[in-house]
Each structure stands twice: as C-alpha cells, then as structure tokens.
Amino acid sequence: MALQTIQRDLVTPEEEVKFQKFISPPKDNPDTPDRLKPDIEFYRKLMVGVDLNLPSRLPDGTDKVKMMVIADDAPKNRLPEQFPSPLIRVRQGQIVHVHADGGQDGHTIHFHGIEPTPMNDGVGKDSFEIGSYTYQWQPKHSGTYFYHCHKNTTLHVELGMYGPLIVDPPEGPGYVTGYNLPGHLIRYDVEAFWAADEIDTRWHDLQHNAFLTHSGHDPNDPSTFTSDGILNDFRPNVFVISGAVRANDTTPITDSRVAVKAKVGQTILMRVVNAGYTIQQFSFGLDADVIAMDGRPLGVPPTGKYSAPFRLSAGTPFRLTSAQRWELIMRPTRTGTFPASVDYFDWVTGKKLATARSQITVA
Amino acid sequence: MKRRDVLKLGMVGLAAVSFKSIGCSGGSYYVGQDISLNITEALFEMVDRKPVYMWAFQDPNQPDPMKAGPRVPGPVISVIEEEDIDLTITNTLDENHGFRIPSAPGRPDVVDFGTLAPGETKTIYFRAPSAGTYMYFDPLNSPVNRVLGLHGVMVVMPNNPLNRVPYSHPTANVQALFDDLGTTAEFPGHAWEPSRSRIWNLHSIDPRWNAKAQAGTPIDSGQFQNGFLPRYFTINGKSGFFSSHDMDTALEGHVGEPMLVRIVNSGMATHSTHLHANHFFVLAVNSIVQGNVFMVDTYPVRPLDRVDWMVPFERPPDIPVHPNNPGQFLRIDAAQELALSFGGVRQSPLDYPMHCHMEMSQTAAGGNYPLGMVTHFTFTGDVDGVPFPHQG
C-alpha cells in the first residue's frame, strides 16, 4: 500500500501577507509611539566589525576571528568598538531610550528579559526591522539581562551582536536586590559579569543574511525555501568568557574582564549568562548563594514569593542553557586562589567540547 | 463530578479548535478510558514541504476523519488520576516496537508494553498516575524509535479539578501561587481555568535517519546518537509560521488570564525555551511539583524532560505607565502603537514570540529563519475585559 502523505498546512491568500512579514519583516524608521521623556539614553549602531585576536593559531592558520558587534554610537565620549558589545546599565524605574542605527541592512535590538511593547521588543516578525529607531522601556525589576540583535538571530548573535545589560536597584551600582530583610538589598564590593560563549569560525565567513527564506515567493512552493544552510550545524572551535578567549582547557584566563580579585570580608556579586548555544556548566571554588535568576530575585516578593535563594557549596557545578542568567553572592573568608570554570557541552550529543578556566584571587 | 465533566474542564480549548490542519498537529485531542493506538507510518511534509518518512501513532477509533490519520506527535491521551485505563496497542509495521510511559525519576513506569512483534496487538490495564504531564513513546532501540516519530503526551488531571490546581498534591508554594492568581495586586484578573492550558511537544528531526528507516535499514542507536544533526524543529509537529498560528500551540488571552503550558521534549537536542513579554513560573519538572518555584524567562528542556509552566499573562511589566492611567491599561499606555501597522500587519493585538534560544532550533533545512521552534504569545485585551482597538 502506498504511503500516506500528510501535507503541511497551506498558506491561504488571506494569510500570505502575514507569512511574508514572518519570513521577511519590513524595514522602517518610525517615531517611537507613546513616547515619554527619557531618564537615560544610549546610542547603538548595529553590525560593526571588530577583530577578536586568538591566543594561538587555529589548525587552518587563523589567528583572529571577525566579530560583528553592536557598537556604541554616542555623539560624544564614544566607547571603542568591542566584543561583547558595550554594557547598558540603568536603574529600576528609569525610562530608558536606546537610539539604534540598523544601517542599510535592517537589524533589531532585543533586550532579553526586558518586557516592553512589541515595537520595543525588537522582534522583526512581530513589528519591523530598523533603519533607525529609539527603543523605549522602563524596567520594573532590577537584575541581570543582556541585549542582542534578533534578525537571523541564529547567525547574528553568534557573530557577536550581543552585550550585557544590568538594571540596578534605585540605590545604584554596589547594591543588588536579593533576599535580605528588611529591605531585600544586598551590598557588594566586587562585581563580575561572565558572558560565556562559543564561536564556530565557519559561520563568520557567512553574509549576515545567509540562508534566509526567499521572500516574495509562493509560501506553498518548496522552492521558496533555502535548502543548503548550515545554521543547524554548530561546531564551535573558539571558547570565550566575556570576550576573553581561552587558550586551552587548562590555562586559566587572567584577563581582568573574567578573573576576579577580592579581599577577605568583601562581598562578590557574580553575574552569569549563557550567551552561547551550548550547555554550559559553571563551577566556582567558593561557597555561593544563588540570589536571582533571569532578573527575578529569589525569595523577594512579589515575584519571588514562591521561591527562596539557595547555597551552592564551593565547587558545586550548575548548568545553564542559552540565555539563562543567574546571580551569585560569594563572601570569601580566607585568602587564596580559587578556581572558576565553564565546561561547554554539545546541545545534541551532550559531549564535552571544551573547558575555560579562570580564578578568583582573594587577598 | 462526572469524568466527562472533569475532562471537559481540562480540554485544551477544544471548542475553539480549527481542524483545518491535519496530521502533524499534536492538537487538543483525547482518547477515553478505552484507548487504542496503532503504530503505523506516513510521509510528513516539513515546513518547507519536503516530505519525511516517520513512524506515527494513529487512533483507529477516531470518528473525525480530519483527525483519524497518522499523527506525530501521537494523539494526546487525557485521563483522570487513579482511573483505570484499558490501553490497546497494535504494531502494524514490519519491525518490533514498544510503548512505555515513564513516571518520576526512580519510580516504576506507569506502563511498559515490552516488545510488540510485527502485527501484534496487546492490551494492558493500568491505573492513571498522579496528576501531571507525561510522555509516551516507543523505548526500543532508544532513542531511535521515539525520535523517528513514536511519541506523544499523556495529561493526567486531578480528580478534584475544582481546586483549580493541576496537581493533587501541590507544594505549599505552588498552591500559594494558584491562590494568588486573580486575587492579589500582583496578579489582577482571573484565577487559572483548566481550559487555559496548552501542550508543547518539542521535537527535532534529522531526515537522513528517517530515510534509513524507510529503506528498512537497521539503525544502530550509538551511531544515531553520535551522528544526529537535527534539520527540522517542531512544536506539536509544526514549525515557524505554522506553529506560531496554531490555536492549540500559541498562547492567547487578555491580561490577567493565566495559562498553564505543559512542555515535553521527545527529540534529541536540549532546548532553552524563552518567553518574551512575561516571565513564567516553573511548576513541575518530570512529575515533581516544585517546592522552590522560580520565575524565569528562559528554562531548559532536555531530551525526555517534562516541564510545566504557569504563564501569568501579566501586563508586560516594562511598558512605561503613562501619567493619568492608574489602571495601567495597555490600550492607553500603548494607544499609538496599537493603531500602527508594519508590512500590512497591525500591531494590535500585541504579538510576542516564544522560541528556543539554542538558536540553531530556529532554522529549517539549515536556514529559513525563523521557521523553527517558535510560537506566538498574544495579548488581545486588557485586564478589565476590554479588547484592544484596531485588531486585525
């Protein structure tokens, strides 16, 4: 008996406009609707090239990787181009404006974990892709976030179009919201932000719009779709933490963006994000209290009313998948050099791909 | 309460389901106390209309011709805790197959049929386990038979659904959350209604292995696990535009209408499901109702994991509240945006995505972003019941 074929849904003529927008969002430069006066402003330019130098040559002789980042675009005191993209730091309750320049190609910025209207959420198929636009939002919850381009996201985030985003409580840097009666405010002395990531250098030779669907074609015609893409096939060969490349599985990264220095009696706030596409296993050689996940403090009402912070004893590993963020508090009680590491595991096979090591030095 | 009424409360928006789509939809769909499933085969068109051979479940007693065909994932089995189930499985294919429903880790299976030879039919009685989300699948040659199509979801409802908690023994924190929905300042609106539920069966497909199965070539499970390169990513058998607009899959409602989402991963990849516009509460993982109930925007779903979320449908919290809008109504705070259109599509209602953040899963055939594991999360109106203007 012949095999039955179960058809995919057909796109009706009435649905075609929505389908075309889904696969090929329009580029536009609208004024920000429902605009309010900002308390703080940032300027960002999408897809600016910057070289990431490698500590040793890859087997093919490569000694650097071309990254594409979201650069600072401020009219004055502009920060240098950097990978990851520069920090956005605001306070809870501020009205934030991010003036973004998408250039000729059309990009977006999604502020991951921030929950504004769709036009300010930076997802093209649910709004538009920018030429130029001012994103507006007002963070209700302090915590650890990040931002990234959400066009052909698979490729654009991998190319480096992401950066850290911190929402401080109203008291500003030096304080973090966490379970601590009566006011649920924890003061810290040392702050670190680990954005662990991996790079598949093959992808960095691709055009930014590689393997997108052919827009304008009949969505019911199989030839509308590309069939030769490699964006399902992630084979990272460079491993980084916050832009610092690890040389090998054993040599600790000493880059000041990663290695932590503190004194006995001080409080360390470690912000951790999986900014890559592997399963990342973190381990810190000091006892740590996990005080928040994804910008929501544990044990702190109202959102944390049903949860509680918990202790990870020194060396206890924990795993984060892509875009998960944890905040940890460490209070070292003795001097020494304590290991800190990330193991990277393949998202399908579960096999360990690499280890990046660094350290926490307590004086 | 009669069984029929209990199930009616738990149906996934059954009355509203469009049966336009067939086959690949996991759909809102259940079979009763006498459940029969056939193990069969079919070609399923992927999102790019390329056909892929899959093993599939089929309900031989399904009267609705639109739902009677082979399905990947299989029909949703919906039962009530502690009721006696009479389950019949028939293997219509040419090789051995099996059928198993695991329980919580370390606990005995809910049911395991062992091996069904070609042409064999077996009936097993079992008692429905504690309320929650379960996965059924063919465990033979693991994970090959499951991944090639033989999997589905079983939902077990508590026998006291009037408590309005989807578990019979909720932890204190889960009970407190459900008590708060619709009654506290943080969660204005409505309590959770059992009909406000969705199922997301996540799956990944590498057609090269399906082609081997179609050719009758034996598949070594070790080679399969080491050589699996997923090329299609589905939610309830659909991808991209189609999973985003599937009424059984997409989340839709007014502010203040919380929704339960039951997620299972029958595929090979670890997913990192990320919801825009709302953080959600993680209620249960692999039949364990959580004591520490995290509110997060991203949560992992490993192969074989079962994870329940409560999406509060709260007003997206970071939309600025305009002066003179004490009710924080979105139709006022987003008044200008709701009137706009881009690409011929209105901004009203407010659409957001849910997608896996292991972004390879957002592709199909290695590209075609975003025709992968994605769906819509849509706000259609305000907490006071007023729909948004300009919808279309």
- Mean of the per-residue pLDDT values of chain A: 97
Question: Coil, strand or helix: which one is A118?
Answer: helix
pLDDT in tens, B91-128: 999 999 999 999 988 999 999 999 999 999 999 999 99
Q: Is B160 a residue whose pLDDT tops 70?
A: yes
Closest CA to B148 of B192, B75, B97, B77: B97
pLDDT for position B29: 45
Q: Confirm if A286 and A260 have CB atoms less than 8 A apart.
A: no
- Indicate whether A217 pLDDT > 90: no
Instruction: Determine whether the interchain pair A298/B292 forms a contact, defined as Cβ–Cβ distance below 8 Å.
Output: yes
Mapping DSSP to helix (H, G, I), strand (E, B) and coil, where does residue A126 land? helix
Of the partner residues B46, B180, B359, the one whose CB lies closest to the CB of residue A157: B359
CATH topology of domain A238-362: Immunoglobulin-like (2.60.40)
Contact B320 A95 (CB under 8 A): yes
Residue in chain B lying closest to A301 (CA):
B186
- B167 half-sphere exposure, CB direction, 13 A CA radius: 26
- Taking alpha carbons only, the member of A343, A273, A155 closest to residue B359 is A155
Rounded-to-integer distance, Cα A240 and Cα A69, Å: 15
* Beta strands at B121-127 and B84-91: parallel, antiparallel or unpaired: antiparallel
pLDDT computed for residue B69 by the predictor:
93
Show residues of chain A in contact with B369, CB under 8 Å. 152-155, 211-213, 231
Closest CB from B230, B271, B334 relative to A117 = B334
CA distance A82 to A72: 9
- Residues A158, A211: Cα–Cα separation, whole Å: 15
Query: Using one digit for the tens of pLDDT, what is the confidence trace for A187-207?
Result: 999 999 999 999 999 999 999
Q: What is the pLDDT of residues A36-66, one digit of tens each?
A: 999 999 999 999 999 999 999 999 999 999 9
The set of residues, in sequence order, having a beta carbon less than 8 Å from that of B179 and lying 6+ positions away, is: none
Which residue among B22, B300, B318 places its CB closest to the CB of A116? Answer: B318
CA angle B268, B274, B275 (to 5 degrees): 140
- E-state strands within A242-362: 244-245, 260-262, 268-274, 279-284, 288-293, 296-297, 310-312, 318-320, 325-330, 336-345, 352-362
From chain B, pick out residues whose CB is under 8 angstroms from the CB of A218. none
What confidence category does residue B327 fall into, taking pLDDT thresholds of 50, 70 and 90?
confident
CA angle, B276 then A27 then A201, to 5°: 70
Query: Which residues are CB-neighbours of B84 under 8 A, at least 6 positions away?
Result: B33, B125, B126, B127, B128
Residue A135: which pLDDT band, with cuts at 50, 70 and 90?
A: very high
Say which of A28, A138, A303 has its CB closest to residue B342: A28
Percent of chain A with pLDDT over 90: 98
The architecture that CATH gives domain B3-169 is: Sandwich (2.60)
Q: Is the pLDDT of residue B8 over 50?
A: no
Element (H, E) at B234: strand B232-235
* The pLDDT of residue B6 is above 80: no
CA distance B138 to B147: 9
Q: What per-residue confidence (pLDDT) applies to A1?
A: 62
Query: Confidence class of residue B31 from pLDDT cuts 50, 70 and 90?
Result: low
* CATH 3.40.190.10 is right for the domain spanning B172-198+229-381: no
Token code pair at residue A62: 């490569």
DSSP-derived secondary structure letter, A277: S
Search chain A and give the residue with CA nearest B18.
A9
Which of A1, A6, A296 should one mutate to test binding to chain B, selecting the residue with the greatest count of B CBs within 10 A?
A6
Cis peptide before A164 (omega within 30 of 0): no
DSSP A83-107: SSPPPEEEETT--EEEEEE-TTT-B
Whether A85 shows a pLDDT value over 60: the answer reads: yes
Hey, are the CB atoms on B357 and A322 less than 8 Å from each other? yes
- Mark yes or no for CB contact A348/B228 under 8 Å: yes
Residue owning tokens 């810290």 = A188
Q: Find out whether A350 and A279 touch, Cβ atoms under 8 Å.
A: yes
Could you tell me how many CB contacts below 8 A there are between chain A and chain B?
Answer: 297
In chain B, what residues touch A213 (CB-CB under 8 Å)? 367-369, 371
Distance (Å) from the alpha carbon of B84 to chain A's nearest alpha carbon: 33
Contacts of B366 (CB under 8 A, 6+ apart): A211, A226, A227, A228, A229, A230, A231, A232, A233, B231
Question: pLDDT tens, A263-312?
Answer: 999 999 999 999 999 999 999 999 999 999 999 999 999 999 999 999 99
> Hey, are the CB atoms on A227 and B365 less than 8 Å from each other?
yes
Mark yes or no for CB contact B298/A294 under 8 Å.
yes
CB contact under 8 A, B320 and A141: no
Reduced to 3 states (helix: H, G, I; strand: E, B; else coil), residue B382 is coil
Neighbours of B107 (CB within 10 A): 11
Q: Transcribe A4-25 into DSSP letters.
A: PEEPPPPPPGGGHHHHHHHHSP
Which residue in the block uniquely carries the two structure tokens 């190609």?
A105
Counting Cβ atoms within 10 Å, is residue A205 exposed (0-12), middle (13-18) or buried (19+)? exposed
Same fold, B3-169 and B172-198+229-381: yes
The residues pairing with A273 across neighbouring beta strands, listed in sequence order, are: A195, A325
In chain A, where are the structural domains located? 13-173, 238-362
CATH number of A13-173: 2.60.40.420
Best of A117, A153, A217 to mutate (most B CBs within 10 Å, chain B): A117
In this structure, what token pair is assigned to residue A36? 């309010």
- pLDDT at A117 exceeding the cut of 90: yes
Helices (H), B260-361: 330-333, 335-338
- CATH topology agreement for domains A13-173 and A238-362: yes
- Domain coordinates in residue numbering, chain B: 3-169, 172-198+229-381
Answer whether A3 sits within 8 Å of B342, measured CB to CB. Answer: no
Output DSSP code: residue A285: S
Prior bond to B73 cis, omega within 30? yes
Question: How far is the CA of B57 from the CAs of A155, B102, B221, in angstroms?
Answer: 36, 18, 21
Average pLDDT on A83-103 reads 97
Mutate to test the interface with B, among A4, A7, A8 (most CBs of B within 10 A): A8
Q: Which of B296, B345, B363 comes nearest A293 by C-beta?
A: B296
> Which of B225, B276, B366 faces A230 most closely, judged by CB atoms?
B366
Per residue in A313-339, is it b (16+ CB within 10 Å) or e — as a string? eeeeebebbbbbbbbbbbbbeeeeebe
Q: What is the pLDDT of residues A303-350, one digit of tens each?
A: 999 999 999 999 999 999 999 999 999 999 999 999 999 999 999 999
Rounded to a whole number of angstroms, the distance from the CA of B5 to the nearest CA of chain A is: 31
Q: SS3 sequence, B79-120?
A: EECCCEEEEEEEECCCCCECCEECCCCCCCCCEECCCECCCC
- Interchain contact, B343 vs A21, CB within 8 Å: yes
- In this structure, chain A runs to a length of 363
